[in-house]
Amino acid sequence: MKLPEAFSLQMQQILGEEYPAFVESLAEPTPVTIRLNNRKTPSEPLATQERVLWHSDAYYLAERPVFTLDPAFHAGAYYVQEASSMFVAEAIRQAIDTSKALKVMDLCAAPGGKTTLLASLLNNKSLLVANEVIKSRVGVLKENLEKWGFPNYIVSNHDSEEMIDLEGFFDIVLTDAPCSGEGLFRKDPKAMNEWSENNVQICCARQKRILQAAAMLVAPGGILCYSTCTYNEKENELNAQWLTQVADFEPVELEIPAEWGITARKYGYQFYPHKTKGEGFYLAVFRKTRGDKQEAKGKIKLNRVPQKKIEVLKEWLQTPDTFEYFEKPDGQIVAIPADLTNEYAVLFRALHKRSSGLEIGQFKGNDFIPSHDLALSTAIAQNLPAIELSKDDALKFLKRENLTTDLSEQPKGWLLARYQGLNLGFMKVIGGRINNYLPKEWRIRMDIPE
């Protein structure tokens, strides 16, 4: 691997005598890691090699399988995520009490790896907002959140500076800022080809702008997590130091076992591939020392669902009385946690380009048509009619092809397709016909080997 000359000089200055080991590590294969969904458990999990030291639900795989051909992946049983970046969860656990009801913002969220990481930390009284400024990336973010199944989420599409009305609203703000990508050179050679000293300067300036907006969102006593996948001081330590100079934040020191191989800096923590089994990553955690906490009140400006229809909806949810039900203008019904309706109302008023809660379906006349979001949500009732599919038929369902399983004995109506106890989506049995309600944009497009 031929590294850019200016980058090599930079890393020699940072690492000194460790530099040869660093270069050697870039020639090694990229580790493959998955993080299990602690709310969903497949009966036959992937064969794992060893656990990621800083995350109890994360594992290295001996080799990279074709994840597209594993129905459990589509059901949200696990997420394929780079190991170093999972350290965000450990940092948050040490910095704040996650057993409390928390309001959390992932400010630069797509494609959703760290967002689902956050979702696994939160209890059912917490609220998660996943924001992505690039519109074309919002779809994959929402898809990954739907798969993960945490019901209390909103996906938004805003620039960080458009959130002035949410000042002091969040207990946790994660800012995984766009960066020069130095830590991805082994994983993504394109990142190396795009690297330049000028691009580092551009990224540094952009990060400061995003950080300043992120800092505004944090409630006093709350935490701000700043991360990049790069090594240089301009984007990492110097930006972290700058934040403490321009805003009311103090660094949070973390307890890190020496065997984890993480390098502590004056501001933040650095991962190097020659010292940890993962890619290059940087994280700094700050606590807001003072400021105004937002105590805004709001009202959800959507039509409430009539009680007669709510009685129908209750059959589809595990704990239906913990939600309130609203109908969007397009007829889609959303379930919003009753304890969080004020928080949702504040967010709805402040964020104009966003989702509206857990979409559970819509009525067509007297018939209720459940949504795919509901099928994958952990809020779904556990006693709904379902059929366990073989792997072959599960993949056929995910390709929207005809199943080989005989469904002639199944009663007419809605039926959950399952694999290893995991919901994949809805089917409807109508006489001798089966309608597949998997969204067309979700279907597997690759050929499946015989």
Binding residues for S-adenosyl-L-methionine: 108-114, 132, 159, 176
The values of phi and psi at residue 360, to 5°, are: -110, -10
Q: Which residues pair with 32 in a beta bridge?
A: 61
| Cβ proximity of 119 and 136 under 8 Å | no
Instruction: Count Cβ atoms within 10 A of the Cβ of residue 27 and give its class: 0-12 exposed, 13-18 middle, 19 or more buried.
Output: exposed
Q: Computed from CA positions of residues 12, 17, 23, 28, in that sequence, does the dihedral angle turn out positive or negative?
A: negative
**φ, ψ (nearest 5 deg) of residue 169:** -90, -35
Q: Which of 179, 204, 225, 229 is labelled catalytic?
A: 229
Angle between helices 138-148 and 113-121 (to 10 degrees): 30
In contact, 55 and 84? CB cutoff 8 Å: no
Distance CA 244, CA 226 (A): 12
Q: Known catalytic residue: 229?
A: yes
DSSP-derived pairing of the beta strands 422-430 and 413-419: antiparallel
Contacts of 258 (CB under 8 A, 6+ apart): none
- Cβ pair 326, 300 in contact under 8 A: yes
**CB 157 within 8 Å of CB 135:** yes
In 3-state terms, what secondary structure has residue 71? helix
Binding site, residues?
108-114, 132, 159, 176
Q: In this structure, are residues 398 and 372 in contact, taking their beta carbons and an 8 Å threshold?
A: no
Scanning 78-171, the segments in alpha helix (DSSP H) are: 87-95, 113-121, 138-148
Please give the positions annotated as active site: 229
